[in-house]
Amino acid sequence: MNKSQKNNNIIILLLLLLSVILIAAALFFSQETTRTYSFEVGKPWLHSRLEANFQFDIELDEATRKRITDSVNQNFSKIYTMDHKRGEQQCALLSRVLRGRPGSQALLEAMLTLYSDGIVDNEAANDIRAGKQLRFMVGNNELQVVDATNMKTVRQAYAWLTDSLKDNQAIQEALKDVEISNYLKPNMMVDEEENEKWMGEDLRNALRSPGTVQANEAIITRGEIVTPKKAAAIKSYQDEINKRYKQRNVDQTWTLLGQILIAATLMLAFFYFMKLLRNQVFSRRRQMVFLISFITVFVIAVFLLVKFKYGLLYVIPFGLVPIIVSSFFDDHTSFFVHIVTVLICSLIASSHQAEFIIMQFLAGIIAIVSVKELTKRTQLVRCAAIIFLAYCITYIAMTLIAEGDYTKIDKYYFGYFLINCVILSFAFLIIPIVEKIFGFTSSMTLLELADINNPLLRQLSTNCPGTFQHSLQVANLGGEAALLIDANMQLVRAGALYHDIGKTKNPAFFTENQIGENPHDHLVRPEDSAKIVIDHVANGLKIAEDADLPKVIKDLIAQHHGKGVTRYFYYKAKEAHPDEEVDPTPFTYPGPNPQTKEAAILMMADACEAATKSLTDHSEEAIAAMVGKVIDGQVAEGLLREAPISFRDVETIKRLFVERLRTAYHMRVSYPSDIKTAEPAHEPEADDSATPPPHGDTAQEQSK
């Protein structure tokens, strides 16, 4: 391992460490310090089946408790006690004042009657007027309701003596000598101690638990409507759990640590997957930064949204992960990224992890298969529709397995799935943003570039019609070869269309655009001709830069000749200087050699298509010999050594090229006019002349 690779590994590991730290922070903030379930009374229960792990009593909620308490306080009949001594004391005081005066005996008897019936205070008077009963303690802890008909307030007692007994002359005489109101005192008073005792008993009875939930009994099942009673049971259960957690001093740090370890293990597995099985991507720092950042940002977004509202877990379109990743990477990479993302996010779906993982696993597979080559927006709509169907089927199946009752299926979930898939169908809006930030190129962009109405291609068609036709044929050859060896077909096609745009600077110096005179004949030195031909690569890169073409297209332009030699002019120079050693450097393309499968395919397709045009014999044997000669020469020169392409792939491409080129150059039947003049059938679009080798730009100029 060289120093550059070590540095790359260290940087990626540091990025992964930073990712784990950020995910850990998101897990920490999404942790609940107490056990809570989000729900609304009157709405369906969105979580999985909730069972009691222990027996507990259902407690009333605060609003209900307050309402019951207020009702008991309002309707409670107070308990009173009669102070018999007070009446006796007041009558004794009155007797001493009267001292046997006329009518004193009758007045004392009337006073005893009042105290015997009961003189009440204002509070008791208000209760009587409100129709409440007056209760008295009788015997040992027994209550008795007393008739309050004859009870009077101090004012009423005074009126009774002065007004109601005004016909009793004896009493009226006695009243003249005393201020009777001074002797009228309430003897019926609230018994505070007994009131507190009995009101507490009434409250305890009224606030008694409405029921008890046994251990392993279902509190509520998913999809069931949350009634007030169910809400009280759920709240009581979570309060009891939290109470027990506090009693046991359970530290949530251990739970968080376990989640962080799982997230770190998954990210480490991602690291080794990319390093061992996708080393070409792993060695490109920008691509690894994107993948790690994408996983991290998506996971954190999920954690925060679910923290805000748990039901959003079903609205988040996890299918976005494989769709976006597969737009720039291979299917295996996108699937592994999707699995890592789903497994990390499942840490917060603790109540139904199995269902969550199965649903998102299916969504990922469907997304990858449905959008393998994303070229149309309708593909996303179709993909979203299939994922919606998969979500629905999985949800129904998992509900039937868990509940064993189809009535527990909650229709609200289908609404969540629908929102999920509607969001998913707009994934094409995100792809250009990723392209802009990271400099990637999606298949949709490549498809747009392959439109022949593109200004650059129209210019190529107008200024270099021969080169344009050559590019079209190379695009067809290369595209089919890419499909056979699992390369990026859209990239090869787009690259083939633009690989020779540099020829627009000097179109007449290239054989396919020449009509009549060859301008190379006017150049003295072969080096000058070679420079003009080689410069079409540099010119093409400048044009591509000015047109802001993607980097992958510019790479194909730079690599489609690799470090090959313009052999025709090189041999010309050797012929001109037979006694000297000719330096091949002025006749060599700057390169680099192909670095990808796509660049290797383009190099082979470009050379083979050009070389076969120089043949006068287009039989299968002649084409096969030429294709073999061209590609074997490239392999022998080491032009394909740096590309990740196998010998098996090369042999597959050879067979395809022979088959397609043979079809392109097949002989046509002679028309009647040709038969009469006895002229041989002539293929107008094929170059079957026996002229000396033209001046081309491929590795096989001498055969063009």
In the listed set 187, 206, 225, which residue is the last one of a domain according to the structure? Answer: 206
Asked if 404 and 501 sit in the same domain, the reply is no
Q: Indicate the residue type of 570.
A: Y
Asked if 510 and 653 sit in the same domain, the reply is yes
Using the predicted structure, report yes or no on whether residue 602 has a pLDDT greater than 80.
yes
Report the CATH number at residue 641: 1.10.3210
Using the predicted structure, report yes or no on whether residue 627 has a pLDDT greater than 90.
yes
Domain total in the chain: 3
* Gyration radius from the chain CA atoms: 49
Model pTM score: 0.63
Using the predicted structure, report yes or no on whether residue 682 has a pLDDT greater than 50.
no
| Residues whose CB is less than 8 angstroms from the CB of residue 680 and which lie 6 or more positions away in sequence, other chains included | 670, 674
3-state secondary structure 183-210: HCCCCEEECHHHHHHHHHHHHHHHCCCC
Exposure pattern of 164-199 as b/e (b: 16+ CB <10 Å)? ebeebebbbebbeebebeebbbbbbebbeebbeebb
Asked if 480 and 347 sit in the same domain, the reply is no
Residue count of the chain: 704
pLDDT tens digits, one per residue of 328-357? 888 899 999 999 999 998 887 766 778 888
Look at residue 671 in the predicted model and tell me its pLDDT: 56
Asked if 390 and 459 sit in the same domain, the reply is no
Q: Is residue 17 part of a domain?
A: no
Asked if 411 and 526 sit in the same domain, the reply is no
Asked if 512 and 591 sit in the same domain, the reply is yes
Asked if 595 and 636 sit in the same domain, the reply is yes
Q: Judge whether 207 and 60 are in contact, CB under 8 Å.
A: yes
Asked if 596 and 663 sit in the same domain, the reply is yes
Asked if 537 and 674 sit in the same domain, the reply is yes
Neighbours of 159 (CB within 10 A): 12
Asked if 647 and 544 sit in the same domain, the reply is yes
CA dist 393 and 417 (Å) reads 11
| DSSP character string of 74-103 | HHPPPEEEE-HHHHHHHHHHHHHHHTT-TT
Q: What percent of the chain has pLDDT over 70?
A: 89
**Maximum distance among all alpha carbons in the chain?**
172
Task: Please compute the mean of the pLDDT values over residues 277-298 and round it to a whole number.
Answer: 90
Q: Is residue 344 part of a domain?
A: yes
pLDDT tens digits, one per residue of 47-99? 777 877 778 887 777 777 788 888 877 777 788 888 878 888 888 887 888 77
CA dist 82 and 70 (Å) reads 28
**What is the DSSP secondary structure assignment for residue 160, as one 8-state letter?**
I
Asked if 201 and 324 sit in the same domain, the reply is no
Answer positive or negative: Cα dihedral of 499, 503, 507, 511: negative
Q: What percent of the chain has pLDDT over 90?
A: 26
Using the predicted structure, report yes or no on whether residue 400 has a pLDDT greater than 90.
no
Q: Judge whether 594 and 600 are in contact, CB under 8 Å.
A: yes
Asked if 472 and 427 sit in the same domain, the reply is no
Q: Which residue range forms the structural domain that includes residue 369?
A: 266-438
Joined tokens for residue 572: 């010309």
Q: Is residue 252 part of a domain?
A: no
3-state secondary structure 630-656: HHHHHHHCCCCCCCCCCHHHHHHHHHH
pLDDT tens digits, one per residue of 649-677? 999 999 999 999 988 876 655 556 554 44
Q: Is residue 650 part of a domain?
A: yes
Residue 679 pLDDT class (50, 70, 90 cuts): very low
Q: Could you check whether the bond before residue 550 is cis, i.e. omega within 30 degrees of 0?
A: no
CA dist 118 and 126 (Å) reads 15
Task: Please compute the mean of the pLDDT values over residues 524-531 and round it to a whole number.
Answer: 85
Q: Is residue 331 part of a domain?
A: yes
Q: What is the mean pLDDT of the chain?
A: 82
Task: Please compute the mean of the pLDDT values over residues 588-611 and round it to a whole number.
Answer: 93
Across 41-45, 222-226, 336-340, 669-673, which has the greatest mean pLDDT?
336-340
Angle (CA) 416-422-424 rounded to 5° is 105
Q: Is residue 468 part of a domain?
A: yes
Task: Please compute the mean of the pLDDT values over residues 104-128 and round it to a whole number.
Answer: 82
- The edge-to-edge listing of strands for the beta sheet with 152-153 is 142-146, 134-138, 79-82, 188-190, 119-120, 152-153
Task: Please compute the mean of the pLDDT values over residues 101-128 and round it to a whole number.
Answer: 81
In the listed set 414, 438, 462, which residue is the last one of a domain according to the structure? Answer: 438
Q: Is residue 102 part of a domain?
A: yes
Q: In which residue are the tokens 């006019």 written?
A: 673
In the listed set 374, 409, 438, which residue is the last one of a domain according to the structure? Answer: 438
Task: Please compute the mean of the pLDDT values over residues 30-39 and round it to a whole number.
Answer: 65
Q: Is residue 675 part of a domain?
A: yes
